[in-house]
Amino acid sequence: MAERSGGVPNGLVNFRDLGGLPVENGVTTRQGVLLRGDAPYAGDRHPEEATHWPPRAVIDLRDTGAESDAVHPLEGVSTVHRIPLLEGLRSESGEDPWRTLSELYGHILDFAPKRLLETFRIAVETDGPVLVHCAAGKDRTGVVCALLLRTAGVRYDAVVADYTHTDRNMHQVLRRLRITPELPPGVEESDVNELVSAPAYAIEHALQRIESHRDGAAGWLMRHGASADEIESWRRRFLLPGE
């Protein structure tokens, strides 16, 4: 991958097309519908793995202000929807009310269901690829994508595997965010997982909360305002037809 000055990667490092995932009824998800990634920067190169680019729509889950630029790098190329998933969910002091990833994901489900519903409707209504991203493409993006995948019927184990895939990309993500441009002496890239990780138990906690509803993820969305027609439209758009 090409690099900027200082060895910072010049392009998305936690990008993937969520096509080709196994669905419980034996079919798979369609390429070029749901994309996920870390935050794009101005001047980034075309993602090497992307065969459907640029996205028709972008869902930016970052907070407004300090966390995201006034003009999104894909503005004018894609329709950009800003849905700050965590904005307003912290205490008045600005402190996070969650201490673990499991608590964070539960907090999103409890206090931002309408924002999650908005992301679902954008995914349903867009005619073309939709890119979902936050800063690292791990936590907020992970919850949104897990909900969309399970609503389509993607196998539980495949959803967990997609989430944990981020672990192998975190060192590059941190370099992009300029949190840790260089590893400390004696620390290998594989050790980054101990510092910033995407552990299976975190997304499993969120999935268990979602799946506790009647009809699982679809039932969770319908409880918060989605219609049965929207659920079916998402499945038609995202799933390849069976043989």
Residue 69 sits in a domain of what CATH number?
3.90.190.10
Residue 187: its pLDDT value, please?
55
Contact between 47 and 12 under an 8 Å Cβ cutoff? The reply is yes
- Strand 57-60 vs strand 79-82: parallel, antiparallel, or unpaired? parallel
135 within a domain of the structure (yes/no): yes
Does residue 240 fall inside a structural domain? no
Q: How many CA atoms lie within 13 A of 143 on its CB side?
A: 28
Residues forming a β-bridge with 57: 79, 130
226 residue type, one letter: A
Asked whether residue 236 is assigned to any structural domain, the reply reads no
Q: For residue 232, is it within any domain?
A: no
CA distances from 79 to 71, 87, 155 (A): 12, 21, 30
In a domain, 14, yes or no: yes
What is the distance, to the nearest Å, from the Cα of residue 151 to the centroid of all Cα atoms in its chain?
Answer: 15
pTM of the model: 0.92
- Residue at 233 is within a domain: no
Q: What is the largest CA-CA distance in the chain?
A: 56
* Within-domain flag for 231: no
Which structural domain, as residue segments, surrounds residue 162? Answer: 5-226
Determine phi and psi for 56, rounding to 5 degrees. Answer: -70, -40
pLDDT, residue 185, reads 56
Cα separations in angstroms, 221 against 93, 112, 215: 31, 12, 10
Tally of domains within the chain: 1
Collapse the DSSP code of 123 into the 3-class scheme (helix H, G, I; strand E, B; otherwise coil) and give the result.
helix
**pLDDT tens digit at each of 243 positions of the chain:** 566 656 688 999 999 999 999 998 889 999 999 999 999 999 999 999 999 999 999 999 999 887 877 899 999 999 999 999 999 888 777 778 888 899 999 999 999 999 999 999 999 999 999 999 999 999 999 999 999 999 999 999 999 999 999 999 998 999 998 876 555 555 565 555 545 899 999 999 999 999 999 999 999 999 999 999 999 999 999 999 975
Q: Is residue 70 assigned to a domain?
A: yes
Which residues lie across from 154 on neighbouring strands?
23
Q: What local confidence, expressed as pLDDT, does residue 105 receive?
A: 96
